[in-house]
Amino acid sequence: MKLKKLEDSLEIPEKTEVKYEEGVFIVKGPEGEASKKLINPKVKIEIKDKMIIFSAKNATKMEKKTIATFKAHTKNLLRGVNEKYVYKLKVCSGHFPMTVELKGSELIVKNLFGESVPRVLKIKKGAEVKVEGAIISVQSTEKEVAGQVAAEIENLTKRTEFDRRVFQDGIYITQKGKKEIK
């Protein structure tokens, strides 16, 4: 069943500036700037009076889903520029003394499982990584960037040939945003 006109809106928080030009949202806030490309020929996006309005004429289920997706991505952008996304990781080294250091835009893990060659990860643009002892924190104004960098750091130390119940050495995500992971 088609709806004549489907409309949904989202309020823009204070101290936040939003632009939508040529299919790209550009959001500026106190914590920084973020952008995301959101294009669909059947969904119209307007910014009026501190509101972002998503609308579609003769909307089907697909347009309804698209509007909900666009709204969710926009909420993430608005939240990220007002309060950065933070992921925390813990360095666990039980068998071999592993060292983790940050050099420029590279994270270097030395002596993992007694390996002589260090493992190196190039950090994506837009993410801030800090190493403080056994805790690594990843911050970004974009949720996807922060989550992807944290996952790449965790995957850097995975080895399938060892039993994880015995060899627990590695780097593990312990906190996503405000949620503690057990």
pLDDT digits (tens, 9 = 90+) for 62-80: 999 999 999 999 999 999 9
Over range 131-144, report the average pLDDT. 92
* Domain 85-180 = CATH 3.90.930.12: yes
Query: Which is more confidently placed, 144 or 180?
Result: 144
Instruction: Work out the burial of residue 181: count CB atoms within 10 Å of its CB; fewer than 13 is exposed, 13-18 middle, 19 or more buried.
Output: exposed
Query: Which is higher by pLDDT, 160 or 143?
Result: 143
Please check whether residue 46 is in contact with residue 55, taking contact to mean a CB–CB distance below 8 angstroms.
Answer: yes
pTM score, whole prediction: 0.85
CATH 3.90.930.12 spans which residues of the chain?
3-82, 85-180
Q: Which CATH architecture has domain 3-82?
A: Alpha-Beta Complex (3.90)
